[in-house]
Structures are given as C-alpha cells and as structure tokens.
Amino acid sequence: MDAMLKEITAQCAQYTAQGHVATYIPELANVDPDKLGIYVLLEDGRSYSAGDHQALFTMQSVVKPLILLLALMDSGIDAVRALVGVEATGKPFDAFNYSDQALTGAHINPMINTGAIALCTLIHGDTYHDRFSRLLELTRKLADNPSMDVDQSVYESEKLTGNKNRALAYMLTAYGMITDPVEEILDCYFRACSIQANCQDLAKIAHIFANHGRHPVTGEQMFPGAYAKYVNATLATCGMYDGSGEFALNVGFPAKSGVGGGIMGVVPHRMGIGVFAPALDKHGNSVAGVRMLAKLSEALDLNIY
C-alpha cells in the first residue's frame, strides 16, 4: 500500500505543472506549486502516506463541511435547511450572479462561499470569536490534532482582500438572510478558511465522516450519523464546485477541495483520505490531487456508484 501511494504520487507529479496556485489571495500565491502529498486512513486504523503529506496548507473551502457540521450540531437540520439549500448551482465557487428572483435559501449551497458564510450564523457562541473558537476546537478534535491553528498571514490577507466575500455577505444581509454584523461573520469565516492542516489532518477528519460520526478507536459517537450522511451527500453532489459531476465519474466518492490545494476524500465505511497539491484547475480543484484520488479509486475500487 505504501508502495502504491508512492507510485501514485510519482505518476501524478507531472500534473502539478498543469495547474496554477491560487492568486486571488496574495499569500496563497507564495505556495510551492510542486508540492504533492497523500495520506490514507483505513477503517481499521491502519494508515499509509507518501510525498509531502506533512506539509501544511490552509484548509480554505475544505473547512466548509466542518462549518456545515457544526451548524447542524448547534442548530439542527431544519434550521440549516431553512437557511441554505442542497442543490448544485452549476456555477463557480464565488459566483455572484444570483438573479433577484433566485436569491432564496433554496438556491444557496453550503459548499459555495455564500452558503458557508450564511451557515456561520447558525454556529453557537456569544461572539463570532467564540463561534470560531468552537469551530477550531471541533476541527482539532476530529483531526485529533490539538496543534491545528490559523495561518495568521493568510487570515490577514483574506481579510484585507476578501471583497467578493464582503459583497456576498452584504447581499445576504440585503435579502434578510443574515442579520449579524457582516465584518464579524466574515472574520469568523476568514479565520476558518485560514486554519492550517496537513494531509493527515484531512484524512482523520474524513475518516470520521466515513465512519458516520463514530470515532474509529474509542467508538465514541462524536456527532449523529445523520449529520455525517448529510455532509457526505452534499460533498458527493457539490463538494468539487462545478467539477463535482466530473469527479463523481472519475473518482466516485464524496470529497471537498479547497483553493489551498487540499482535498479531503470520504469513502463511506472504508477510509478517509487527505491529499495536497496546490496547483489548481479552472474550477479551483487541485489538478494533481484529483488525479491521485482517481488512481487510488481505481486501484482500490473505491467508486461507490
């Protein structure tokens, strides 16, 4: 298995040259585009890895399933569904073109920025600083890694330049979908996107989603299985932006990508996977990361369809 992962990373190294690291946040442009790593955690606790699996990157959109999960845990399925929908939008992750008629919760997906920003308002906490602390705490707990923390310079860069997200948040405000102060919500969101992780962290979190909320070793039910299925189904249809259909064909299991270059792969009942390769395709998905997952899926017959 370790040998296979090694071979997969070797075969996929060439694809890093086909993408480009994200540049919309200045800090992200400094990442080494040739990095490439993978970490696989099986149901039974065995783990395998290859390449730059210890390299740190910011979670960016990979944190969205965790925002969704905490919103579900804090406010329940009904409140989440009342605020955001579940349909794929057929549009890029930061799309702005909602028509006036279309801007209802039903047209907002938790895996695109608008939806994730809205869901921050369903996380409990006296302040948005508290809400973020609870999100970070959950992330650390699921990843079993108490040292996870915010990349301060990325966070500051996001906050400084995140005007598209500001526009989306004020649009939500204008339509009465959120009422809290925009800058506070965004501060929580920008911090969340800036949490640093490595492949192992993603694999461990994915592992618990794959295991429907139950900790693989302790057996503790960390959150209801229904929430895991909710998140996993959402990842299956919308986790890879407008490359989700393609990913379902070529890879075939729930996953979430981020513009930091990470992808978290959830193979229900079987394994959690974390990959990292920061050169992105036009949808914002890691080029080499998607290739690695496709090869792994084929090699281990992970396609769930």
Task: Indicate the residue among 17 and 233 with the shorter CB distance to a second copy.
Answer: 233
Asked whether 118 and 178 are in contact (CB, 8 A), the reply is yes
Q: How far apart are CA 131 and CA 189, in angstroms?
A: 10
CA–CA dist 256, 266 (Å, integer): 9
Annotated catalytic residue: which of 31, 80, 259, 287? Answer: 259
Among 4, 29, 56, 95, binds a second copy (CB under 8 A): 95
Name the minimum Å distance from CB 181 to a second copy: 11
Choosing from 58, 61, 244, 285, the residue that interacts with a second copy (CB under 8 A) is: 244
Nearer to a second copy, 9 or 113 (CB): 113
Taking CB atoms within 8 Å and a gap of at least 24, the contacts of 77-85 are: 77/226, 77/227, 77/230, 79/122, 80/110, 80/119, 80/122, 81/105, 83/108, 83/118, 83/119, 83/121, 83/122, 83/177, 84/108, 84/109, 84/110, 84/115, 84/118, 84/119, 85/109, 85/115
Distances in Å between the Cα of 135 and the Cα atoms of 113, 189, 231 are: 17, 10, 16
Q: Does 157 bind a second copy (CB under 8 A)?
A: no
Residue 300 binds a second copy (CB under 8 A): no
Answer yes or no: 155 catalytic: no
Among residues 155, 189, 227, 230, the one annotated as catalytic is: 189
**Contact flag: residue 224 with a second copy (CB under 8 A):** no
Could you confirm whether 241 is annotated as catalytic?
yes
Q: In angstroms, give the least distance from the CB of 101 to a second copy.
A: 6
Region near a second copy per CB under 8 A, out of 115-123, 128-136, 216-224, 227-235: 227-235
User: CA-CA distance, 267 to 253, in Å (whole number)?
Assistant: 6
Q: Which is nearer to a second copy, 70 or 302 (CB)?
A: 302
Total chain residues near a second copy (CB under 8 A): 51
CA 282 to chain CA centroid, Å, is 17
Q: Applying CB under 8 A, which part among 46-54, 91-99, 117-125, 273-281 lies near a second copy?
A: 91-99
Residue 268 binds a second copy (CB under 8 A): yes
Q: Say how many residues make up the chain.
A: 305
304 lies in the binding site for a second copy (CB under 8 A): yes
Any contact of residue 45 with a second copy (CB under 8 A)? no
243 binds a second copy per the rule CB under 8 A? yes
Q: Residue 64 catalytic?
A: yes
Q: Judged by CB under 8 A, which of 238, 259, 263, 275 binds a second copy?
A: 238
Nearer to a second copy, 10 or 82 (CB): 82
Region 161-220 residues binding a second copy, contact defined as CB under 8 A:
163-164, 166-171, 173-174, 182
Residues near a second copy (CB under 8 A): 85-92, 95-103, 107, 109, 163-164, 166-171, 173-174, 182, 229-230, 232-234, 236-238, 242-246, 248-249, 252, 254, 268, 303-305
Catalytic residues: 61, 64, 189, 241, 259
